[in-house]
Amino acid sequence: MSDTTTEPPLLAPSSVSRPALMARLDAASKLRLVVVAAPAGSGKTTLLTQWFRRSRQRRVAAWLTLDGPLTGPDALAAGLLASLSAADAAPPAAPVQALQGLLAQRSGDLLIVVDDVHWAQDSACMRLLDALLAASAPGVHWVLAGRCLPVL
């Protein structure tokens, strides 16, 4: 499995806050899926980190950064389970079916942010993300951020 991170990065004190964009994320986060796509260095991670930290004060929220190319859908599922476990939203089980079941049966609001999703662009990982989105309970909200639009 490639490296993944289940906490947003630490930000420099000089990071610029973008309240208008954070307000747009607040409004959009009621949707099942929000995609943030922009070139490297445009501030996606900084914006999402600021927003995530504020959001998790009022809802269960899980963060996953893909730190490099994934070895396949099992690696993506393991990373998502680790991030959900860190958010106290998942059992310790690891298979894809456990993840699908967890998301389908979830009651209450759950935010899942996947940063650098461009590292999961192979077709098997995209099929898994598509299946997870389709199986997720109504209160599960996804934010996928990366350098390009994911092909779902």
Reported as a single tens digit per residue, the pLDDT across 44-88 is 999 999 999 999 999 999 999 999 998 889 889 989 988 988 877
* Residue 1 token pair: 């499995």
Domain layout of the chain by residue ranges: 27-146
Top CATH class, 27-146: alpha beta
Tokens 């208008």 found at: 20
Nearest to 33 by CA among 117, 122, 123, 121: 117
CA atoms within a 13 Å half-sphere pointing along the CA-CB vector of 108 = 7
Rounded-to-integer distance, Cα 81 and Cα 84, Å? 5
Question: pTM higher than 0.75, yes or no?
Answer: yes
The predicted model gives 110-119 an average pLDDT of 96
